[in-house]
Structure 1
C-alpha cells in the first residue's frame, strides 16, 4: 500500500489556465470579426469585459 506522504505535490496549472483563456478568447474574437465584421467583434469584446468585471471580486 502506498503512503500519502510519498506522493509528489500536484502541479499548479493556474498560469497555464489563464494563458489558455486568453488564447481561446483571442481566436473567438478573431472568428467573430472574420464572420461578422469589426463592430460585432468589438461588441463581443465589450460584452466579455462586462462579464469579467461583474464576476471580479472587490
Structure 2
C-alpha cells in the first residue's frame, strides 16, 4: 500500500471479495418457471402431452448429466 492513499482507492490491491452463491436462488427460479410452463402446457395441450414434454426434458437432462460426467 502506498502511504496517504485510502484502502478503497488503492489500485495495487487486486483482491476480490468472495462472490455470492446464487445456486439456491437460480434453482428455485428454475423450478418456478418450469412449474408455470407445465401448467400452461397442461391447460393448452392436456395432461398426456405435458407428460411427454416432462419425459423429453428428463431424458435431455439425464443426457447432459451423463455428458458432463464423462
Equivalent of 1:8 in 11, 14, 17: 17
Equivalent of 2:60 in 38, 43, 51: 51
Per the alignment, in what secondary structure is the counterpart of residue 4 of structure 1? coil
Structure 2 gaps of 5+ residues are 1-8
Give the 4+ runs in structure 1 shifted more than 3 A: 2-5
Structure 1 gaps of 5+ residues are none
> CA RMSD for the aligned pairs?
1.5
TM-score with structure 1 setting the length:
0.81
Q: Does 1:39 align with 2:37?
A: no
